Structures are given as C-alpha cells and as structure tokens.
Amino acid sequence: MARFRLSSLLAFLCVLENAVALPQGYSGEPNFNLKPLLTDPIRKWSLNTTVSFPSSSAFNASTERWTIADPPTYVAAIRPGTEEDIGKVINLAKTKRFPFLTRGGGHGYAASLGEFQLGLSLDLSQWEYLEIDKKAQTLTVGPGITFAEIFDPLFNDGFYIQTGSCSCPSMIGVTLGGGIGRLMGKYGLLMDALQSVRMVGADGKVMTVSATSHPDLWWGIRGAGANFGVITSATYKIHPLVNSGNVFVADFYLPPERSREYFNMVEANYSNMPANLAQVMVGIWNRTTSSVQLVGNWVYYGTEKEARKVLAPVFNLNATSSTRIVQWNKLVSSSGFDEFICQPNQPRSLFSLNQKIYSADGYQAGFKKIEKYLYDHPGGRDTTLVIENFPNQAVVAVPDDSTAFPWRDFKGFIQVNFAWMAGDEATARASNKLGEELRNQFAATSGYSEKTVFVNYARGDESIENIYGKRKLPRLAQLKKKYDPSNLFAYNHPLPMHYH
C-alpha cells in the first residue's frame, strides 16, 4: 500500500456474520431452473435485452461485486434494455416466485444481501444515459453511470456536484442510501440534489417520483430508496464551478507519537468546520517505514490563499506535508488510492458509525487499538482506520421531516476497514473481534447515544432503528406496504411492512 498516495482514502465493507432477521421475501428454491422461463420466445424481450447463465463471461459481468464476503448468489442474469422489460421481470418474479436483485454498480455490502441465494441478477449496467441541461442546471443519469463517468462531462460544461469520495459506485446506488461526501457542508447529501426519478414499481409500471408525483414515495426514496422499485433514471441539481473548479488539497503525515496532539488540534480547531472544507484522517501501516502512520487529508473548495489561512492550525504542527491544486474532475482519480480501493472481488469487513462530535479522546483510544492490531497481525496490514470530518451546514438546512433520512445532525463518519488475504482465517477472526470492540468504543464518543449508522455505510447487523431512525420507521413501513406489498425489494437493508 506504500505506493499509494493517501489523499482520498475511503473504504468499506463487510464480512457478514450476524445476518439481520429478514421480512418474508421470496426465497429461491434450490435448483430453481430459470432458464426455460427466461429463454421462452413468449417473453419477446427487446433486442438489447440479454439473458445469461453461469459459466459465461456475460453472467460474470452481470453478477460481479466489490466485496466477495458472504455474497448473494445467482442462477441467471438479465441485462434489460427497456423499462418494459424491467416490468416484465418484476411481474414474472412475482408470478413464478423467484428472487431477483437489482444491480447498479455492485458496491452494496449489506449483510442482508447474503440472504439472497440462487436468484436472478437484474443488471442495469447498460443504462449509461447521461444528459446535462445547462440552462436548467440539472444532470440526468441512468443507473449504469458511476461517479467516474460524470466528473469530466460536468466539469467541461462548467459545473460540479456533491459526490462520494471514490469513483466506482453507481451514482444512483449511492443516492438511494443518502450519499455523503466532502461537499455535504456546501450542498447537502447527494439525495438532497435529487429533483425527480423514474422508477419501475413493484406492479411493473413506470412512474415518475418527485415532489409533485407520488409525493409520499418521494419522501421515502430519499433515505430508503432501495426498497420500492427499480430506478431507471435520476435528475439532480448541479452548481456552477467555484474558483474555476480548482481545489486545494493538503496531506499531513504524522508518526504515532504525535497522534494525540493531532487529534487534540482537530477537536479544538475544527469541531465547527467551514462549509467548504473537509478532512479524511487515516490510520495506516506504512510498508516503507514498517510502522503505523496517521495521515490527514484536507480538501478546500476555494483559493489556496484562503485554504492556508483556514488550515493554519494544521500547518502550525510542522508535520511533514504535501500540498497541491487539482481540478475538481481529477480530485478523486488523482488520489492514487482510488484504483486500489475500487478493486472488485476482494473479501472485506467494515464497521462504521456516524459521528456528531469530534472527540480527541475517542480517536486516540481507537487509534491505539488499530496500531496494536497492525503490529500484531502482519496478515491484516492493509486494514485502515478511516475518520471522515465533514461539515454539515447544508445537510441540516434541509428540514428533517421533508425526507426519510434520519441523521441530518451528523458531522462525519468512522469506518474500520479490515482487509486480509482470502483464507487467512486467524486474521479474519481477530479483525471481526476487534471491529465489534472498536464500534462499541467509538459509539461512546460519537455524540450519539447508540451505534447509529446511515444506510450506505451500515454493516447490516445494526438494529433497523439505528439505520433508519425510530421516528421515520412507522411512515416508512406504511410506504413499504403500499408500494411493495409482495416484498419484492427485500434484500438491501430491508424495511418492515409494519412498525409500531
């Protein structure tokens, strides 16, 4: 890992040991044979709809995932070309009672996905529609579009938008669970930029969901969006570039002896960050020095002059640092780390939490434990402790009751991202034990009274209250019952049909 520059570290994932109790979804019958059903000429699939089966490269492509820990399994895949065919798949699944799973970018890691066995992959990867309306200042994308594909077109037209910090997940996939990122202080969650979506519902029919069309569902998809249907396009508000799209980036490298001093500075000077500043802190094993290192990666959306002023308390520590100015569209790809973190087909185990306050005590205690783990477990040295300090001005500016999203007061995230070589069970066990311990410990200094985590980062063994929020659940359950009464969309942090 020493060869990567750590300016855009983010990470994630899960070995799913404690599966959540699922509502009654369809369960695949072992050896359920979908082939005759899907290949029957009576289906009259559109010319650009393709069906594939195991042992083909098309099937592999339609079922590939970011993490291979406790994955969903498939007996067939379909790459629909039209909304009509998506509707046909939904109706067929309902009549013939087989499970299907919508696939956007394949980066989901909910424990509940492991409950999906021997089903059909509904692969949306060919939906690569992208349109920028300069006059209306909107971007419309299909579910096959990842962040990687929006950076250049938007930038070249003079716009930008809040995104996640990696290039690989589906933009719509990230939106459906909230969508946090460095610009959330300035523009809110990615779902706050949504203006409308097109969705094929559980009845197989296409609908527009917006403030004026199915407003009850509009509330629900913004916070629990994977639960109601298949989204075929989404339209977002975009913003004219600031500072010609130039972004100031600074990385600070500290030895473990200075971690306490660094965390104290973060708590003292950045507990209320300006809206256009963001930090990702990473505790990592440095293979060059064979020691643990703390890296602070700061991004400022504005001029270098202002950035240096705002970052004076960090520069004043005299830590080793490197700074640069990058264009917004190159921010994610130029991190040097993006390609590594985006590698598919790896086993990963992630423990994550929201944080509402920045606690130097909490950070230091967690950092010490990761430091010890990295020294003790050579097989786990690709593991990282990631702490995201993101401002939330524009997130709290959106009225809490206007969407289903429950955690508008958060100011960041903690993720322990364990990684080990496939087959190294001893390191796997040590990782999952420490992950549990660290999650409990960090929760105590997170500013929340429980282990809360927003949908996209959830491991899936948390209570639904700690993912969706107790206040939002009664209304979400009602929506689930109304829009997906057969519980077809039951595998990604599933909502209950009843909640009191």
Ligand X SMILES: *[C@@H]1O[C@H](CO)[C@@H](O)[C@H](O)[C@H]1NC(C)=O
Ligand Y SMILES: Cc1cc2nc3c(=O)[nH]c(=O)nc-3n(C[C@H](O)[C@H](O)[C@H](O)COP(=O)(O)OP(=O)(O)OC[C@H]3O[C@@H](n4cnc5c(N)ncnc54)[C@H](O)[C@@H]3O)c2cc1C
Binding residues among 356-415 for ligand Y as defined by CB under 6 A: none
* Of the candidates 225, 171, 233, 235, the residue with the CA atom closest to the CA atom of residue 484: 225
Local structure of 369: helix, strand or coil: helix
Q: Report if residue 456 touches ligand Y, rule: CB under 6 A.
A: yes
Specify the residue, 413 or 499, whose C-beta has the smaller distance to ligand Y: 413
Specify the residue, 4 or 155, whose C-beta has the smaller distance to ligand X: 4
Rounded Cα–Cα distance for residues 58 and 54 (Å):
9
Q: Report if residue 46 touches ligand X, rule: CB under 6 A.
A: yes
CB 81, min distance to ligand Y, A:
15
Q: Report if residue 6 touches ligand X, rule: CB under 6 A.
A: yes
Calculate ∠ Cα 452-453-458, nearest 5°. 135
Residue 327 near which of ligand Y, ligand X, none (CB within 5-8 Å, type-dependent): none
Stretch that binds ligand X, among 7-15, 29-37, 48-56, 94-102 (CB under 6 A): 48-56
Residues 162-181: x/- map of binding to ligand Y (CB under 6 A)?
--xxx-xxx-xxx-xxxxxx
- Other CB atoms within 10 A of residue 318 CB: 8
> What do you get for the CA distance between the two ends of the chain, in Å?
48
Supply 365's token pair. Answer: 């205690």
Of 286, 327, 393, 432, which one interacts with ligand X (CB under 6 A)? 286
Residues 63-82: x/- map of binding to ligand Y (CB under 6 A)?
---x----------------
CB 471, min distance to ligand X, A:
35
What separation in angstroms does the CA of 157 have from each of 19, 94, 140, 141, 329? Answer: 45, 43, 14, 15, 11
Of 16, 184, 230, 282, which one interacts with ligand Y (CB under 6 A)? 230
CB 118, min distance to ligand Y, A:
16
Contacts by residues 41-46 (CB-CB < 8 Å, ≥ 24 positions apart): 43/88, 43/92, 45/80, 45/81, 45/85, 45/88, 46/80, 46/81, 46/82, 46/84, 46/85
Residues in contact with ligand Y, counted by CB under 6 A, come to a total of: 36
Specify the residue, 243 or 264, whose C-beta has the smaller distance to ligand X: 264
CB distance 447 to 357 below 8 Å? yes
Q: Report if residue 126 touches ligand X, rule: CB under 6 A.
A: yes
**CB-based burial of residue 486 (10 Å sphere; 0-12 exposed, 13-18 middle, 19+ buried)?**
middle
Residue 226 near which of ligand X, ligand Y, none (CB within 5-8 Å, type-dependent): ligand Y
Residue 442 near which of ligand X, ligand Y, none (CB within 5-8 Å, type-dependent): none
Q: Which residue has its beta carbon closest to ligand Y?
A: 173
Binding residues among 300-359 for ligand X as defined by CB under 6 A: 312-313, 316-318
CB 413, min distance to ligand X, A:
21
Rounded Cα–Cα distance for residues 209 and 196 (Å):
6
Of 293, 297, 403, 492, which one interacts with ligand X (CB under 6 A)? 293
Specify the residue, 60 or 213, whose C-beta has the smaller distance to ligand X: 60
Residue 403 near which of ligand Y, ligand X, none (CB within 5-8 Å, type-dependent): none
Supply 44's token pair. Answer: 């009259």
Write out the DSSP string of 257-315: GGHHHHHHHHHHHHTT--TTEEEEEEEEEETTTTEEEEEEEEEESS-HHHHHHHTHHHH
Of 7, 12, 76, 252, which one interacts with ligand Y (CB under 6 A)? 12
Rounded Cα–Cα distance for residues 398 and 162 (Å):
15
Of 18, 48, 271, 440, which one interacts with ligand X (CB under 6 A)? 48
Binding residues among 138-157 for ligand Y as defined by CB under 6 A: 143
Q: Report if residue 268 touches ligand X, rule: CB under 6 A.
A: yes
Q: Report if residue 108 touches ligand Y, rule: CB under 6 A.
A: yes
Residues 127-146: x/- map of binding to ligand X (CB under 6 A)?
x-------------------
In terms of DSSP H, where are the helices of 377-406?
393-396
Q: Which amino acid is at 328?
A: W
CB distance 343 to 255 below 8 Å? no
Specify the residue, 139 or 430, whose C-beta has the smaller distance to ligand X: 139
Of 7, 8, 63, 102, which one interacts with ligand Y (CB under 6 A)? 102
Cα Rg of the chain, angstroms: 22
Q: Report if residue 453 touches ligand Y, rule: CB under 6 A.
A: no
Specify the residue, 282 or 473, whose C-beta has the smaller distance to ligand X: 282
Local structure of 465: helix, strand or coil: helix
Residues in contact with ligand X, counted by CB under 6 A, come to a total of: 26
CB 334, min distance to ligand Y, A:
16
CB 65, min distance to ligand Y, A:
7
**CB-based burial of residue 144 (10 Å sphere; 0-12 exposed, 13-18 middle, 19+ buried)?**
buried
What separation in angstroms does the CA of 36 have from each of 44, 80, 108? Answer: 13, 17, 30
**CB-based burial of residue 306 (10 Å sphere; 0-12 exposed, 13-18 middle, 19+ buried)?**
middle
Q: Which residues bind ligand Y (CB under 6 A)?
A: 10, 12, 66, 101-109, 124, 143, 164-166, 168-170, 172-174, 176-181, 226, 230-231, 341-342, 456, 492
Q: Which residues bind ligand X (CB under 6 A)?
A: 2, 4, 6, 46, 48, 55-57, 60, 81-82, 126-127, 253, 268-269, 286, 288-289, 293, 295, 312-313, 316-318
